[in-house]
Amino acid sequence: MLFNAETVIPRWAEEGMRADVIVVDPPRKGCDRRLLDAVLTMAPERLVYVSCNPATLARDLKHLAAHGYAVQEVQPVDMFPQTVHVERVI
């Protein structure tokens, strides 16, 4: 599925939907707080976070960790060879 997660996931959380796995791949600004709170409400067993910005990744992971999530693995992905840009899959 492809949709605007910042709109749909909070609505799904309000409707009581649950998910086993949620994958987010936000823009450089990271996830907005409403989206992260909706993800926490849905309480997935696994959350996969793809990030291109270490600063917003750290901010968002701090919020998720404060609510019981822990990083299990970090996988760098070189999507743009011969540049300084690296995606991180957590």
Active site residues: 52
Q: Which two tokens stand for residue 53?
A: 């910005």
60 annotated as ligand-binding: no
Give the three-state DSSP class for 29.
coil
CA pair distance 77, 50, nearest whole angstrom: 10
Q: For 61-69, which contacts have Cβ atoms below 8 Å and span 24 or more sequence positions? A: 61/90, 63/33, 63/36, 64/36, 64/39, 64/40, 67/40
Q: Detail the residues annotated as belonging to a binding site for S-adenosyl-L-methionine.
A: 25
